[in-house]
Amino acid sequence: MSTQVAAARRFVDDDSLHTLRQTSFAGVEPQDIVRRALAVARNPIVSTNFRPRSAAFLHLVTRLAPDIPVLWIDTGYNTPATYRYAAELTQILKLNLTIYAPLVTRARRDAVLGGVPALDDPAHRAFTQEVKLEPFDRALRELTPDVWLTGIRGEQTTFRRSLGVVSRGPLGTLRVAPIFAWGGIDLDDYLYEHGLPDNDDYLDPTKGADNRECGLQNMGSGI
């Protein structure tokens, strides 16, 4: 383990972060949750996949932390519209975008490894590990964040609802979900209020459906 990673892991156990984990965020506005997280973070990051409505979360966070690293795991299997959307939002919001990609290119996988396995194919787990989980793990090890701001919401899956606003993330990070209590209409209202573009052509090959977990949020999970 590198000195930087070890330091980040020790920091999560500091009193300030322990207090954040024990805080009740019922009724607290997302902007205030972001402020509280940033107040105790030394090296925060925010993640995105540029899925529909993601502009709302990115705008909310970057208004308060314009230079925060924005981590995107580009699986290589995004739709053309998603790539255009990512470029557009990066320009509009002036995102400090950091992209991590799989070690095996899509072209090589499609030519030699047979492309994307079916969801019920045992090979799909290895595919997900290769195109999403390994790049995310590598990003955390190299960027060494202590606080990870994520756009997950409680209404999305039973597992995500169990995490709450603040939970233990992978590699000693503290996962903070500022829009945890929001529904789809809240995101739509935010997009409309701030005149933000949206992406209605998105596909995650590791999940297949919105109610499935790809495994990324399961990494290091715990309250």
54 has a pLDDT exceeding 80: yes
Query: End-to-end alpha-carbon separation of the chain, Å?
Result: 24
Q: What is the DSSP string of 25-92?
A: -TT--HHHHHHHHHHH-SSEEEEE---TTHHHHHHHHHHH-TT-EEEEE--S---HHHHHHHHHHHHH
**What would the mean pLDDT of 183-195 be, rounded to a whole number?**
97
**What would the mean pLDDT of 119-128 be, rounded to a whole number?**
83
Global pTM reads 0.85
Measured CA to CA in angstroms, residue 167 lies from 44, 75, 209 at distances of: 15, 25, 24
What mean pLDDT value characterizes the chain? 85
Domains of the chain in sequence order: 3-194 (3.40.50.620)
183 has a pLDDT exceeding 90: yes
Least reliable range by pLDDT among 44-53, 150-159, 186-195: 150-159
Widest CA span in the chain: 51
**Count of alpha carbons within 13 angstroms of residue 21, beta-carbon side:** 18
Q: Give the model's pLDDT for residue 219.
A: 58
User: Predicted confidence band at 57 (pLDDT cuts at 50, 70, 90)?
Assistant: very high
Per-residue model confidence as pLDDT tens digits over 160-174: 788 889 988 888 899
Q: Give the model's pLDDT for residue 14.
A: 56
Q: Give the model's pLDDT for residue 211.
A: 57
Tell me the two tokens of residue 129. Answer: 């590990």
